[in-house]
Structure 1
Amino acid sequence: MTVSLDQLRRCHVAVDLGAARTRVFIKGSGLVVDEPSVVAVNTRTGSLIAVGEFAEKMTGRTPEYIRVARPVTGGTVVDVELAQRMLRGLLGEKLRRQLRRKPLLRAAACTPHDSDPLAQRATVETMVGLGARRVELVDTLIAAAVGCGLPVEQPTASMIMVCGAATTQIAVLSLGSIVTAERIPVGGNAIDHAVIQYLRHQHELMLPSQAVRPLQLALHGTGLEPTGPTATEIHGRDVATGLARSVLVDTAAIRQAIHTPLTAVLDGIGKVLRDCPPDLVADLADGGITMVGGFARLPGLDQLLRNATTMPVRIAERPEYCAVLGLGEMLEGHVQPLTLNPLAEAE
């Protein structure tokens, strides 16, 4: 982290390309873009019809010649051209004109922990399509830790859990670097899928694609804890007849369906703690785990982790924005590297 801080201070724009949402931070202007990572394309002409919020509303409602796509999966760009067009569309002409005034535009972008060189290259090419002459890649775990105020540059342990849409990343940080980390292919989408599969198998009910997240919120107003209403009425489509139908769903059974994918997250936390040096584990007994990302807001998830780890667990103040705001802090020069030899400087 101390090596690249000087280079990050020279950057003009920071981008967090997430599977669910894309966020852009411009130096001096702050957070300027926070939109879903979705594009709608006319397959006959190849033209871009919509990006962001409007494109997401079109999901499942388009004729056959309009394709709604997500060019980013699990924090990795899977379609560079579409990602470039999406970024340009989200920024708009006014912001793009502002960036074009920079003769040597430098950009910073988040990348998932332990991403392979091809994934990193795809991210760089996406930023180059935005006009960047140089691209700095920052591990999402470090950016998110800075964004939520953890003392990552100090010689003490800080444990962070980035709960994304497609993946969950867990790490222990110290002295500005990652000591041990784990990336698990379970995120908010896996929770959605668990709810969908339960309703399909147990009640033969199909849900609209945009109804899953509101369904989660309705069912889990009290989270993973067995309190609140015992049943909820859900509207969907019958698998056999295709007709609209309503069923009364047992909330306890839904909670049980959601617990299944969360066991992988608990296993990942256990592996990180087992690989961590004992001195740092002792620090974590006081500092605990900090949760960031949109999936962190699942009610009751923090209590589940407390019960499983017997460690303090807290949710960051603005968990969805921690990664991009952390990059912004580095761009603005608010993060100072640790002085490793203060006595030498005093002389």
Structure 2
Amino acid sequence: MTVSLEQLQRCHVAVDLGAARTRVYVKGLGLVVDEPSVAAVNTRTGSLIAVGALAEQMTGRTPHYIRVARPVSGGSVVDIEMAQRMLRHLLGDKLRRSLRRKPRLRAAACTPHEADPLAQRATVETLIGLGARRVELVDTLIAAAVGCGLPVEQPTATMIMVCGAATTQIAVLSLGSIVTAVRIPVGGNAIDEAIIQHLRQHHQLLLPSQSVRPLQLALHGNGLQTTGPALTEIHGRDVATGLARSAQVDTAAVRQAIHTPLTAVLDGVGKVLRDCPPDLVADLADRGIMMVGGSALLPGLDQMLREATGMPVHIAERPDACAVLGLGAMLDGKIQPMVLNPLAG
């Protein structure tokens, strides 16, 4: 672990700024914020109209002078000022006042694996703007592994896959560190986009981009599995006429459209296993892969991985909040490092 557990235990607040959702864990209070990373701004006055779930509902439904912004993309802050304003409103006045009373407020934040220095700096600047005197950065892969209860500090291999909205991160961990890892620019958004493009090309149907989750609509509970109804009725807007229309969609064809972006994920799993030492791969044959992140709940994705790798695949109990809960466990001192006693000479 790049940051020591002792340093993390001095932190007061943990933040997970994700492309889809922002989560904040306060020491002693637990998870206090779990909202979409969205803010709606009045471009005429510059004032913030809404943040979180309410702002997400406004996507695609606003007049021209209201802009719906997403200050986080791919786990990295792309608009520092907007991210600060969004976080301030999500925390609320009462909680911000209690945090400001800390003489030297320390914060911990998740960063994607191999995030470039600019992205790391943007995360630090965002939290310093909220009053933090010091910010500790923790790799999302390690935080998520701790959050879903994997024995990260032990000398055994654990494999984790963080399925985010914009990226998928896969790693093998041992002794509290990353042995080998890969970050793929394919996530839940790419899968949704593949379905939207399929329906547009083959059915001349436009789906609402953000207001409706096209994935759940199109798969209708089937996921990537071949069981269930062969046809699903989808409602959208006709490309030619602009009128509302419904169409019967072949779920097998939708599954085929989804497979294209998921191939990159399977390639990433193969690369990590090839780069991993043989002794650790032997451990993984028994332990398997732990899936976390919001996109891990895609129906049938775990079965697809099981068939491709031949290893057991598990989904964490709370896959979407594992990273921030892992950071919180480190803040609360629930994680004990393995102590290596020197041999007596």
The answer for the alignment partner of 2:180 in structure 1 is 180
Distance 1:3 1:225 in 2: 41
Contact 2:56 2:211 in 1 (8 A): no
Shift of 1:243: 1.1
Pairing of 1:5-154 with structure 2 (within 5 A): 5-154=5-154
Alpha carbons of structure 1 residues 105 and 252: separation in structure 2 relative to 1, 3 Å: same
Pairing of 1:102-251 with structure 2 (within 5 A): 102-210=102-210, 212-213=212-213, 215-216=215-216, 219-251=219-251
Distance 2:193 2:311 in 1: 29
Distance 1:343 1:302 in 2: 44
Q: Describe the superposition over 1:178-236 as per-residue Cα deviations: whole angstroms up to 9, x where unpaired.
A: 00000000000001000100011111111112355254256241321111011111111
Shift of 1:2: 7.5
Alpha carbons of structure 1 residues 212 and 57: separation in structure 2 relative to 1, 3 Å: closer
Could you list the structure 1 runs, at least 4 aligned residues long, displaced by more than 6 angstroms after superposition. none
Letter of the aligned partner of 2:6 in structure 1?
D
| SS of residue in 2 equivalent to 1:161 | strand
Distance 2:318 2:64 in 1: 38
| SS of residue in 2 equivalent to 1:225 | coil
Alpha carbons of structure 1 residues 211 and 41: separation in structure 2 relative to 1, 3 Å: closer
The answer for the alignment partner of 1:274 in structure 2 is 274
| SS of residue in 2 equivalent to 1:257 | helix
The answer for the alignment partner of 1:331 in structure 2 is 331
Letter of the aligned partner of 1:341 in structure 2?
N
Moved more, 195-204 or 2-11: 2-11
Letter of the aligned partner of 1:132 in structure 2?
A
| SS of residue in 2 equivalent to 1:209 | coil
Q: Describe the superposition over 1:246-296 as per-residue Cα deviations: whole angstroms up to 9, x where unpaired.
A: 111111111110111000000000000000001100100011000000100
Contact 2:3 2:136 in 1 (8 A): no
Contact 2:217 2:234 in 1 (8 A): no
Alpha carbons of structure 1 residues 226 and 3: separation in structure 2 relative to 1, 3 Å: closer
Contact 2:75 2:111 in 1 (8 A): yes
Distance 1:101 1:257 in 2: 53
Distance 1:272 1:211 in 2: 36
| SS of residue in 1 equivalent to 2:136 | strand
Shift of 1:44: 0.7
Alpha carbons of structure 1 residues 262 and 242: separation in structure 2 relative to 1, 3 Å: same
Alpha carbons of structure 1 residues 234 and 211: separation in structure 2 relative to 1, 3 Å: farther
Q: Describe the superposition over 1:14-67 as per-residue Cα deviations: whole angstroms up to 9, x where unpaired.
A: 000000000000000000000000000010111101000000000001000000
Contact 2:51 2:90 in 1 (8 A): yes
| SS of residue in 2 equivalent to 1:265 | helix
Letter of the aligned partner of 1:149 in structure 2?
G
Contact 1:196 1:212 in 2 (8 A): no
Letter of the aligned partner of 2:25 in structure 1?
F
Contact 1:17 1:110 in 2 (8 A): yes
TM-score of the two chains, using structure 2 as the length reference: 0.98
Letter of the aligned partner of 1:83 in structure 2?
A
Structure 2's unaligned 5+ residue stretches are none
Structure 1's unaligned 5+ residue stretches are none
| SS of residue in 2 equivalent to 1:304 | helix
Contact 2:230 2:252 in 1 (8 A): yes
| SS of residue in 2 equivalent to 1:118 | helix
- Equivalent pairs, count: 345
Q: Does 1:317 align with 2:317?
A: yes
Distance 2:300 2:88 in 1: 38
Aligned residues: percent identity? Answer: 83
Shift of 1:157: 0.3
Q: CA RMSD in A?
A: 1.3
Moved more, 131-140 or 234-243: 234-243
Alpha carbons of structure 1 residues 194 and 218: separation in structure 2 relative to 1, 3 Å: closer
Distance 1:214 1:265 in 2: 20
| SS of residue in 2 equivalent to 1:56 | helix
| SS of residue in 1 equivalent to 2:327 | helix
Alpha carbons of structure 1 residues 300 and 15: separation in structure 2 relative to 1, 3 Å: same
Contact 2:195 2:218 in 1 (8 A): no
